Amino acid sequence: MEKIPSFQKNHDKLQTGLHMSAPANGVTTFDLRFKKPNAGDYITPDALHSIEHMMATALRNSSEKENIVYFGPMGCRTGFYLLTVNLDYGTVLALLKETIPVALCMDEVPGAKREECGNYLAHDLAGAKEELKQYLTILNTID
């Protein structure tokens, strides 16, 4: 098997922040790195799951909703992938700075009823907000 591009990056050199990959088939993947890889600090599974629901909802209700292909968690629990079309780095950075505060204002995790989710008890709204606040602080250091 060939080693896929995601595994060719040296994760020990990968820093927190927002990283953009070259577009493939018209889709651009953004690496939203919340945590420094292999540094002992990971997003808990419940917070990771809640952030997925909250940010997918915020992004799909945003001004760029037509250009959002997918938002989902990394299995290593150090961040998320956002797949987009027609959006450049600056637009995505601005979009995240706009939509994270929307998620921070949510009083409940969207789509977290039994009939809406595959593991509806595995959520942590407060933990998700804490991680999102920290990530927004990281994004605010990027121009």
Contact present, 109 and 53 (Cβ < 8 Å)? yes
- Please count the residues of this chain forming the interface with Zn ion, following the rule CB under 5 A: 1
**Which residue's CB is nearer to Zn ion, number 17 or number 111?**
111
Rounded Cα distance, 53 and 102, in Å: 13
**Shortest separation between residue 57's beta carbon and Zn ion, angstroms:** 11
Query: Which residue number, 28 or 129, has a Cβ lying nearer to Zn ion?
Result: 129
The residue from 117, 136, 138, 139 that contacts Zn ion (CB under 5 A) is 117
- What is the Cα–Cα distance from 3 to 67, expressed in whole angstroms? 29
Closest separation in Å from C-beta 126 to Zn ion:
17
Tell which phi-psi region holds residue 26, choosing left (phi > 0), alpha (psi between -120 and 50) or beta.
left
Give Rg (Cα) of the chain: 15
Q: What minimum distance in Å lies between the beta carbon of 106 and Zn ion?
A: 14
Task: Note whether 122 binds Zn ion by CB under 5 A.
Answer: no
**Where on the chain is the footprint of Zn ion (CB under 5 A)?**
117
